[in-house]
Chains A and B, each alone.
Chain A
Amino acid sequence: MDAREFSLEEEYGYNRAGPVRWILSHALRYPGLPILLFLAAAGNNAAFSYVQVFVGRSFDLITHPGWTQAALLAAALSITAAAASQGLTGLMRNYVAEFIAQLVERDSRHELYVSLLGKSQTFHGRQRIGDIMARATNDVHNLNFMFSPGVMLIADSLFNLLIPIILIGTIQPELLLVPLVFLVLLVITIRDYARRLNPISIAMREQFGVMNAGLAEAIAGIEVVKANVQERHEWSKFTQNARIYRDYFVRHGEIQALYWPMLVFSLAWAVGLFHALLIWQAGRISLGQVVTFVGLMGALRFPTFISLFSFDLVQLGIASARRILELINARTELDENIGGISQPIRGGVTFDHVRFSYSGKQVLRDVSFNALPGETIAIVGQTGSGKTSLTRLINRIYDVEAGRVLVDGIDVREWSMESLRSQVSTIEQDIFLYSGTIAENISFGRENATQAMIEEAAREAQADEFIRSFSMGYQTEIGERGVTLSGGQRQRIAIARAFLTDPRILILDDSTSAIDSATEDQIQRAMRRISRQRTTFLITHRLSQIRWADRILVLRRGEVVDQGAHHELLTRSRDYRRIFARYEKDEGRAPGGLAAGTAGAD
């Protein structure tokens, strides 16, 4: 069953079986519109073709002496009427296409969003924001372009070819010979053209990207370039890329120059003229009808250019649809375990020979430790050692590959996910705050928080002071329209938020740097306060936090190379000692400096 955590009362059911079907189900949601689009496109081309018909008839009219003013006027008016219909239907076609395009964009973005809201926290814990964003903005926008101008131009081209040919047929079926042969040749030459052009277009675009990226890198690192006197080297690198681009550009232009379809058209037009004149000479059609025929064949010129560009847009749209559907249809394999254990957590966490991989890479190899309720565990290690993944196994963003993770002695897979997650909180590295007031952000997780509770939490989190330093205090707006907060300030607001939600297990991913000792004092205090009375996992660089944790886990390449309290590790672990090494007596001063042997000031 597709478990969802959020849904709307009346949701339109789109067909999610495949990208094309999905796009169609969107477009057909308002069935009137696509029908209107095709009718308008057909009408538009019919009107344009009829202008040619009326011109031809006028030709016949004036070449036969004895015509009346009234007849002439009628002819002129009919041309005007046809032109007017052409304009109106053209407008209608464009407007309808634009409507469909904007509706599809809006609806698909809406559908994606609702689906994302319905996905579990597991899903979101794994997703990269940038990736979701790209799909919600770019891919959704490509769907818009697919319809306007994409499908609109295709519909137009279709009728642009069909209707003149039908009309030519109604004048005199034999006239169809040349246009139909032309059509066949057109399709062949256009396909050949696309086959030759596409690879070069793609290569050219890619090369532009390469050239751009290479240059961007050199400019971004200009200090390094200048400091190492590598200006010439960078220039050569760039010009090499630029030359390759030039070659593609020239090749692209050459292929475009050799545009056979246009030659085929000119030839067909001339041959068609001859053919029509022959038939006229044989008395089967009037000269005016020759005029009409020439005009109708002339109309066939337009679709030859536009068609390629519009197919590209459609292809792009389908590719984007596929990416969006991927997200919408994604399911998380973890089952919510609704019938699982649901009880207050005391806070004991045990890892038992845990192994975990992610995207084919081994992240945790054999991790075992035991944390008692209320303990503060510091996790230290280099980037990529597995610290964050370890914490994500506790609230089941991921599941282990081998071994077990236990909370209060019970395997996390036996807990009800709802119960587990509501009692385990994470303060991430990148703290997300809404544009809203500070008070709103602090009370985000607690519906009925009073101002007093909010301020109390802020005080504990050492945030009260700086909040009051703003003119609007707790009502200060943050975000784009408001103040920008420093990393340390955001962290303390997140900590205040955590005070209000009061989790039993807290995971604190602390990576803000210390700029000044005063702020550092406050952050230390806030972190110590929040760690009390709950089991806290601290991913941190701060030696002051590591030193005083109840237990320290030293991770290296996915393994716990050591664990224990500070003094134990100092005696046992060489790596750990190295961290505090600067506090030992100084060895080896630089020669040429002052007298050696000055011990550390403290």
Chain B
Amino acid sequence: MGFILDGLESESYDREYRDRDLFARILSYFRPFSRKVVLVAGVLALNSIAGSGAPIAISRALDLASTNPTLLTLAQVSALVLILGAIAWVSNLVHQWVSARVVGDVVLKLREDALQATLGHDISFYEEHPSGKIVSRVTSDTQDFSDVVTLVVSLLSQILLVGFLAVWLVRINAALTGLLLVMAPFAIVVALSFRRVARRVTQNARRVTAKINAQIQESISGITVAKAFRKERSIYNTFDQNNRQAFRVGLRRGLTLNTIFPIMGLSSGVGVAVLMYAGALRVETGGLSPGDWYLFMQAVGYFWFPLMSIASFWSQFQDGLSAAERVFALIDAGPVVVQTASEPVERLAGGIEFRNMRFSYTETEVVLPDYSLSIRPGETLALVGHTGAGKSSVASLIARFYEFQGGELLIDGRDIRRFNLAEYRRHLGLVPQDPFLFSGSVGDNVRYARLDASDDEVRRAAMHIGGGDWLEDLPEGLETQAGERGSSLSMGQRQLVALARVLLKDPTILILDEATASVDPFTEAQIQEGLREIMRDRTSVIIAHRLWTVQRADRIVVMDHGRIIAEGTHDSLLAQGGHYAELYNTYFRHQSLEYIESVGG
């Protein structure tokens, strides 16, 4: 049943798909269940008939009373009421039973489709859409979308019920029915205007409440500091003010929303009085039997609530369509990275060549205007430059996370666009700045690169990093639980896990984005030993932030605004001065032993 207080919180959403198309698409998901849907429709019709039949039966019973009925007749009439009630109940049971299955299956299919499409999207999609929104589209919006159909079906059944009753009533007395129906627009108008007010109040309240909650949060977070400095009184005053404001806002909203039902009850009661009066006049002239008179008054109750629901139907229908659109937009988002072929990638030597590559991340910003770089198999290459120089883009392009607009990217002389991406990526090892771990054990996370690896292989990979000392520092070694997003481990430990993972994978090409956040010196030492290990025997492209890295690299490439402005070893570049020397001074100098020694005294 469409409920008048539902859906007041949803924000407006700019719609691009047409209602018709959306609805058709939604229906297509229900097509495999068409028999069950027809059953539900039939059963709902039955429910409406039985539902409208009960008051009619009662009014018949009352009229029967004036004809001096026998006990049997009375029993028969009561039995009729009973049977109608039972039929209504059974048909409702079937309706809910079958609907639950249909809705459950439709939502499941929709979720599966949505996730499949989502997982196929490229990284640029994920950077555009916050992950929380993506998740809610797959889990919540899919549910809301199925509610649209439920809503429509429920509305139809209510219209049916009202319709049956109206038809019956018209046959009895058209004028009274007219009077009854005249109240309908009034009910709808009341409901609509209430919803408009309620929606506004709710959204205002939400904004204000969010602000007040933030203030209260700050007040509570600051208690420790306040106590440390003995400033309790002043922050109490701020809190008290905010608390009172929250009270006022909440009260205003609550009172507004709580007005509708009493008013509905009142107006329905007045409707009964009016009909009672008008009907009584007709009973007097003999145009209406007392039973039918009572039927008209009962009808007010039967009409009123469905009418109010119908009023809220349209906006809830729109909300449901918005939810559907969000899901379909998720599925339909076109891929940006397009492979032109699907060539197998069995073995790679690890040679990478950028030829006059042009890459824009958005339409306006060109990140790499004309990039050419050749990396030998097995070379350790460090990329340095200020933020925004294009270093991460270069690394992401090698991983084929983005599509480029001009030029070529060749891996072992082959066009990267022709590769079967899944096979290609098996030859890549990625270590990002803040490695992501799944909840599960450390061992599970290391194994993620090769799910079929044996426990021995996992352990061996882990032991190769810094001599395996880091495992001893974990409370349960490889069995230690990483926690949600790896939060049970420190950032340094997460890096060590990522290194072990790459080692297990043993890829030909390594892409490493060095972290800038500080890690305790012991873990840092282990990480460096780990890095030394994984950079062996493979092509390593490193976005360098460690002095240690640039010192050991075979070659350093200095980038600025998407161009390579210098190349060489650390010593040669430093001797030259220029941009590299400036970068050194800004990012690396404080890591040097010289600096450490100079600080003292």
A221 touches B436 (CB 8 A): yes
A252 / chain B contacts, CB cutoff of 8 Å:
100
Contacts of A575 in B (CB 8 A): 522
B135 adjacent to chain A (CB < 8 Å): yes
Contact B78 A116, beta carbon cutoff 8 Å: no
Given known contacts A246-B104, A257-B100, A600-B593, is B86 in contact with A63 (CB within 8 Å)? no
Can you list 19 A-B pairs with a CB-CB distance of less than 8 A? A76-B273, A95-B258, A113-B220, A217-B484, A228-B505, A235-B119, A239-B115, A243-B108, A245-B108, A246-B104, A254-B100, A257-B100, A262-B92, A270-B85, A383-B489, A432-B225, A517-B586, A589-B552, A590-B537
B309 to chain A, nearest CB (A): 15
Nearest Cβ on chain A to B68's Cβ, whole angstroms: 9
Instruction: Render A509-549 as a binary contact track against B, CB cut-off 8 A, 1 for contact.
Output: 00111111110110010001000000000000111111110
Which B residues between 230 and 287 are near A, CB-CB below 8 angstroms?
A: 230-233, 235-236, 239-240, 243-244, 246-247, 250-251, 254-255, 258-259, 261-263, 265-270, 272-274, 276-277, 280-281, 283-284
Cα–Cα, bound, A467→B480 (Å): 45
Min CB gap B51→A, angstroms: 10
Structural contact, B74 and A278, CB atoms closer than 8 A: yes
Q: Which one of A80, A224, A229, A432 lies within 8 Å of B422 (CB-CB)?
A: A229
Is A86 interfacial (CB-CB < 8 Å)? yes
Whether A72 is near chain B, meaning CB under 8 Å from some CB there, is: yes
Question: Could you say which residues of chain A place their CB within 8 Å of the CB of B555?
Answer: 594
| Bound CA span A472–B103, Å | 59
Please indicate the chain B residues that have their CB under 8 angstroms from the CB of A233 in the complex: 451
Closest-CB distance, B199 to chain A (whole angstroms): 19
- Say whether B548 faces chain A, with CB atoms less than 8 Å apart: yes
In the complex, B415 has a CB within 8 A of chain A = no
Mask, A45-83, CB within 8 Å of B = 1, is: 000100100010011011100000000110111011011
Closest 3 CB pairs of A and B: A83-B269, A253-B100, A87-B266
Interface-facing stretch out of A132-140, A166-174, A181-189: A132-140
Contacts of A461 in B (CB 8 A): none
Q: Which residue of A lies closest to B436 (CB)?
A: A221
Question: Does chain B have a CB within 8 A of A2?
Answer: no
Which A residues are in CB contact (< 8 Å) with B254? Answer: 98, 101-102, 148
Nearest CB on A from B479, distance (A): 16
Instruction: A84 to B263: give the CA distance in the assembly, Å.
Output: 9
Cβ-based interface call for B15 (8 A): no
Question: CB-nearest residue of chain B relative to A51?
Answer: B269
**A548 and B600 in contact, given A217-B439, A381-B520, A432-B224 (Cβ under 8 angstroms):** yes
Question: What does the 1/0 interface line of A239-280 toward B look like (CB < 8 Å)?
Answer: 100110111011011101111001100110111011001101
The CA-CA distance from A601 to B552 in the complex, in Å, is 10
Task: Report whether A76 and B250 are in contact in the complex, using a CB–CB cutoff of 8 Å.
Answer: no
- Residue B168, interface by CB 8 Å: no
In the complex, per-residue mask of A17-61: 1 if CB is within 8 Å of any chain B CB, else 0: 000000000000000000000000000000010010001001101
Contact in complex: A543, B596 (CB < 8 Å): yes
A-chain residues with CB within 8 Å of residue B250 when the two chains form the complex: 102, 105, 144
Q: Beyond A102-B251, A227-B428, is A87–B227 a contact (Cβ under 8 Å)?
A: no
For A262, give its contact among B89, B251, B263 (CB under 8 Å).
B89
Q: Is the CB of A425 within 8 A of B228?
A: yes
Cβ contact within 8 Å between A253 and B99: yes
Q: Quick check: which of A208-216, A309-317, A332-340, A352-360 contacts chain B, the rest being far away?
A: A208-216
CB-based contact A290/B62 at 8 Å: yes
Which of B108, B224, B439 is in CB contact (< 8 Å) with A124? B224
Task: Choose the segment among B290-298, B364-372, B557-565 that binds chain A (4+ C-beta atoms closer than 8 Å).
Answer: B290-298
Q: List CB contacts (< 8 Å) of A110-133 with chain B.
A: 110, 113-114, 116-117, 120-121, 124-125, 129, 132-133
User: Contact: B229 with A79, CB < 8 Å?
Assistant: no
Question: Of B28-36, B152-160, B457-465, B528-536, which stretch is located at the interface?
Answer: B528-536
Looking at B170-178, B404-412, B567-575, the stretch in contact with chain A turns out to be: B567-575
Residue interface mask B88-113, A partner, CB < 8 A = 1: 11001111110111011101100110
Q: Does A401 make an interface contact (CB < 8 A)?
A: no
Give CA–CA (A239, B217) in the complex, Å: 38
Alpha-carbon distance A593/B382, docked complex (angstroms)? 13
Q: Does A396 have its Cβ within 8 Å of any Cβ on chain B? A: no
Interface residues of A in 540-598 (CB under 8 A from B): 541-548, 556-557, 575, 578-583, 586, 588-594, 598
Rounded to whole Å, the gap between the CB of B485 and the closest CB of chain A is: 6
User: Does B134 lie at the interface of the complex (its beta carbon under 8 Å from any beta carbon of A)?
Assistant: yes
A211 CB contacts on chain B under 8 angstroms? 139
Interface check B493, CB cutoff 8 A:
yes
Instruction: Enumerate B413-427 residues with CB–CB distance to A below 8 Å.
Output: 422, 425-426
A258 to B265 CA separation, bound complex (whole angstroms): 29
Within 8 A of A (CB), among B302-335: none
Report if A80-B229 is in contact (Cβ < 8 Å); known contacts: A512-B518, A594-B554.
no
Q: How far is the CA of A117 from the CA of B378 in the complex (A)?
A: 62
Is the pair A94, B258 in contact by a Cβ cutoff of 8 Å? yes
Contact among B61, B266, B537 for A84, CB-based, below 8 A: B266
Is B194 located at the chain interface by the 8 A CB criterion? no
Check A541–B521 contact: CB distance below 8 A: yes
Within 8 A of A (CB), among B438-496: 438-439, 448-449, 451, 473, 475, 484-485, 489-490, 492-493
Tell me, in angstroms, the Cα distance from A120 to B224 when the chains sit together: 9
Q: Looking at chain B's contact residues, is the secondary structure mostly helix, strand, loop, or mixed?
A: helix
Give the contacting residue for B493; candidates A61, A253, A383, A590; CB below 8 A.
Answer: A383
- What is the CA–CA distance of A547 and B521 in the complex, to the nearest angstrom? 12
**Judging by beta carbons under 8 Å apart, are B89 and A133 in contact?**
no
Question: Is A434 interfacial (CB 8 A cutoff)?
Answer: yes
A residues near B259, Cβ cutoff 8 Å:
91, 94
Task: Decide if A224 touches B436 in the complex (CB within 8 Å).
Answer: yes
CB distance A547 to B597 under 8 Å? yes
B265/A48 in contact, CB under 8 A:
yes
Closest residue of chain A to B251 (Cβ to Cβ) is A102
Q: Does B185 contact A (CB under 8 A)?
A: no
User: B25 contacts the other chain (Cβ, under 8 Å)?
Assistant: no
**How distant is A598 from chain B, measured CB to nearest CB, in Å?**
7
A266 touches B88 (CB 8 A): yes
Pairwise interchain contact A63-B66, C-beta atoms closer than 8 A = yes
Confirm or deny: A287 has a beta carbon within 8 angstroms of a beta carbon on chain B.
yes
Q: Is A322 an interface residue (CB 8 A)?
A: no
The minimal Cβ–Cβ distance linking B165 to chain A, given in whole angstroms, is 16
Contact indicator B104/A249 (Cβ below 8 Å): yes
Please give, as numbers and ranges, the residues of chain B lying within 8 Å of A267 by CB-CB distance. Answer: 82, 85-86
Contacts of A113 in B (CB 8 A): 219-220, 236, 239, 243
Apart from A76-B280, A216-B131, what 17 extra A-B contacts exist at CB < 8 Å?
Answer: A51-B269, A76-B274, A101-B254, A109-B216, A217-B439, A222-B131, A256-B96, A257-B100, A263-B89, A269-B81, A382-B473, A480-B214, A542-B518, A548-B601, A575-B522, A581-B528, A601-B570
Q: Tell me whether A94 and B261 are in contact in the complex, defined as CB-CB below 8 angstroms, given that A58-B280, A513-B517, A541-B519 are known contacts.
A: yes
Does B82 lie within 8 Å of A271, measured CB to CB? yes
Q: Is B58 an interface residue (CB 8 A)?
A: yes
A216 — which chain B residues lie within 8 A by C-beta?
Answer: 131-132, 135
The smallest C-beta distance from B516 to any residue of chain A, in angstroms, reads: 6
Nearest chain-B residue to A84 (Cβ)?
B266
- CA–CA, A345 and B449, complex, Å: 57
**Nearest CB to that of A213 among chain B residues?**
B484
B218 near A91: Cβ-Cβ < 8 Å: no
Flag whether A180 is at the interface (Cβ < 8 A).
no
Q: Which of B86, B111, B217, B587 contacts A242 (CB 8 A)?
A: B111
A10 sits at the interface (CB 8 A): no
Residues of B within 8 A of A602 (CB): 592-594
Q: Which B residue's beta carbon lies closest to that of A541? A: B518
Which of A110, A136, A217, A542 has the most B CB atoms < 10 Å from its CB?
A: A217
Cβ of A435: which chain B residues have Cβ within 8 Å of it?
218
Q: Please judge, given known A-B contacts A215-B139, A242-B108, whether A266 and B82 are in contact too, CB under 8 Å.
A: yes
A90 within 8 A of B: yes
Of B100, B247, B484, which is within 8 A of A249 by CB?
B100
With A6-B236, A435-B218, A602-B594: A242-B112 Cβ-Cβ less than 8 Å:
yes
